[in-house]
Amino acid sequence: MSPTAPIPDSTVPNSDSRYDRQLAKILEHATAIFYEKGYEGASIRDLSRASGMSLAGLYYYFESKEKLLYVIQRHLFLSVMDLVRERLREETDPEQRVRVFILTHLEYFLANPKSMKVLSHEDDVLKEELGADIANLKRQYYRCAADLVDALKAAKGLQFNSRVAVLSLFGMMNWIYTWYNPHVDGDAKLLAREIGDVFLGGIYATLAPPPA
């Protein structure tokens, strides 16, 4: 296990032009505010105050509050998926591939802690095409994890309900934003090991009957 692709230190796309830099700043503030107050509870005025840009000025960068959330969520999915793909490229062992997924997910979101909540907590607020698009990305991401788990399952001849197992794994990981405390719980590497142990120990146990 030696992932090498770097964790982006920001929650927003790389930026070159002045426009891009401004947009990046706005998205960062928006993420922070959605994190604090939730999508519905956050107001564009809050964002205006936080970013120092006028209310009207913000609308030059996004066309609606919904689109704003969309852009943020889309970027998060795309970049964590990129990172996962990148890191999986170097690993072939089925178990390690699952561990890489877990570690990458945790590293990414523990490096951008507010993002984890904005993705998890505001999961179903987007409707229509926007919502469908995000749901699609989410499905791809799920599929990616499920494929890794299924590969391991096949390789080891395990027997368990993949759907429930994978969704439980996501539950463990996505719930973290409600309790994670860096001083108490250690870094992503530690957490990934612990959670990976529970998960893998759990599915491996389906080989033999569990100890009485």
Partner DNA sequence: GATGAATGAGGTTTCATTCAT
Partner DNA sequence: TATGAATGAAACCTCATTCAT
Positions that interact with a second copy (CB under 8 A): 37-41, 121, 123, 125, 156, 160-161, 163-165, 167-168, 170-176, 178-179, 184-185, 191, 194-195, 197-207, 210-211
Q: Which stretch in 51-59, 78-86, 133-141, 157-165 sits in contact with DNA by CB under 7 A?
A: 51-59
Whole-number minimum distance, CB 164 to a second copy, in Å? 5
Q: Which stretch in 59-67, 130-138, 147-155, 160-168 sits in contact with DNA by CB under 7 A?
A: 59-67
DSSP 8-state symbol, 206: T
Whole-number minimum distance, CB 180 to a second copy, in Å? 9
What the block records as the tokens of 51 is 């970013």
Q: How many helices, marked H, and strands, marked E, lie in the chain?
A: 10, 0
Q: Are 161 and 167 in contact (CB under 8 A)?
A: no
Q: Are 85 and 139 in contact (CB under 8 A)?
A: no
The residue written with tokens 């120092």 in the block is 52
By a kind-dependent CB cut-off of 5 to 8 A, residue 1 interacts, out of DNA, a second copy, none, with none
By a kind-dependent CB cut-off of 5 to 8 A, residue 55 interacts, out of a second copy, DNA, none, with DNA
Residue 167, H or E segment: helix 162-174
By a kind-dependent CB cut-off of 5 to 8 A, residue 160 interacts, out of a second copy, DNA, none, with a second copy
Q: Judged by CB under 7 A, does residue 17 bind DNA?
A: yes
User: Taken in order 9, 179, 136, 132, is the CA torsion positive or negative?
Assistant: negative
How far is 101 from 79, CA to CA, in rounded Å?
Answer: 14
Binding site for DNA (CB under 7 A): 17-19, 22, 42-46, 53-57, 59-61, 63-66
